[in-house]
Amino acid sequence: MSDDAEMFFELRDEVSRDAQTYADAAGRERPASTTDEAGQIEVTLSETEGTTVVVGDNWQDVYRPGELGSAIVETVQQLAAARTAAWAEGLGEAAEETRRPSPTPPAGESAAARIQAALEAEPDGGAAVTRSLENVLAMLDDISANIDETFAEAFRRGRTTHSTTPLSRNLTVEVSAMGELVSVSFSENWLARTSGSQISRELNAAIAEARAATATSRDAGPFAGTPLAEYQRFLDDPDSFVDYISGRG
């Protein structure tokens, strides 16, 4: 085995072990809820339902009406920080474990082998190879010309927020493109005459509505809405990449 080939396989094994470590860390338990110091705001995070907030009926003993929204967001941020810290700790523990690299897939199952098989099946092999090289160069030229705009659009989309105000006009919530709670503001007159349980109901309904409005963006692929959107199909369906390079799609 040449030095270059040996280096390639060593790199492949290292990537495999790292992937297992990160997968292990992601699967470890992290805190799902937290409360503020006064115990009047409880925040729970679900992977499927997002953020849920419970406001205690004695919240006015601790916060002025104008402070409640900020206190809720701070509690959400505390939970996020605790989850990040737990993930980092789990990653450190996972990294200490000895792992075997995953088996190398048979050469015939690789994309390169399938492209080669497709080209060999063509009646005019020389023309097929030329066409595949032209397709590769066209794709690389397209990526090179549009990569900066693609990253700019992806970052812009990541910074986009969505605000929801129910018909009651009692509150407004703002969530990020990923559905994370960014800000909450309330009608102070409404707060003054409303129980914590009612605040919780209306707040959680508004958060759910805002998350639903961002679901399309959240579920979209990384290239959606960018100049390189057509290449998303290669990530979703590796067979389409083989078809593209070999000139069949």
pLDDT higher than 80, residue 113:
no
Residue 240: pLDDT band with limits 50, 70, 90:
confident
- What architecture does CATH give domain 108-249? 2-Layer Sandwich (3.30)
Interacting residues of 212 by C-beta distance below 8 A, sequence separation 6+:
none
pLDDT confidence of residue 246? 77
What 3-state DSSP class applies to 248? Answer: coil
**Which residues in the chain are classed under CATH 3.30.1310.10?**
108-249
Strands (E), the chain: 33-35, 41-46, 50-55, 161-164, 171-176, 181-186
Q: How far apart are CA 45 and CA 180, in angstroms?
A: 10
Q: How far apart are CA 146 and CA 229, in angstroms?
A: 11
User: What are the distances in angstroms from CA 239 to CA 110, 151, 244, 248?
Assistant: 11, 25, 9, 11
Q: How far apart are CA 214 and CA 161, in angstroms?
A: 9
Tell me if 200 sits within 8 A of 56, measured CB to CB: no
Q: How far apart are CA 42 and CA 149, in angstroms?
A: 41
How would you label 201-211 residue by residue, b for 16+ Cβ within 10 Å and e otherwise? ebbbebbbebb
Is the pTM higher than 0.95? no
pLDDT higher than 50, residue 89:
yes
What 3-state DSSP class applies to 98? Answer: coil
CA atoms within 13 A on the CB side of 77: 9
Tell me the average pLDDT of the chain.
84
Return the structure tokens found at 49. Answer: 């339902």
Least confident of 5-9, 10-14, 61-65, 185-189: 5-9
pLDDT confidence of residue 12? 67
Averaged over 205-217, what is the pLDDT? 88
H/E run at residue 117? helix 111-120
Beta bridge partners of 50: 46
Condensed to tens digits (0 to 9), the pLDDT of residues 127-154 reads 777 888 888 888 888 888 888 888 887 7
pLDDT higher than 70, residue 109:
no
pLDDT confidence of residue 230? 82
pLDDT higher than 70, residue 249:
no
pLDDT confidence of residue 197? 95
pLDDT higher than 80, residue 214:
yes
Residue 1: pLDDT band with limits 50, 70, 90:
very low
pLDDT confidence of residue 3? 53
Q: Both ends of the chain: CA-CA distance in Å?
A: 36
- Higher-confidence position of 115 and 83: 83
Q: How far apart are CA 71 and CA 53, in angstroms?
A: 11
Condensed to tens digits (0 to 9), the pLDDT of residues 33-79 reads 999 999 999 999 987 888 999 999 999 999 999 999 999 999 999 99
Condensed to tens digits (0 to 9), the pLDDT of residues 149-201 reads 888 877 777 677 889 999 999 999 999 888 889 999 999 999 999 999 999 99
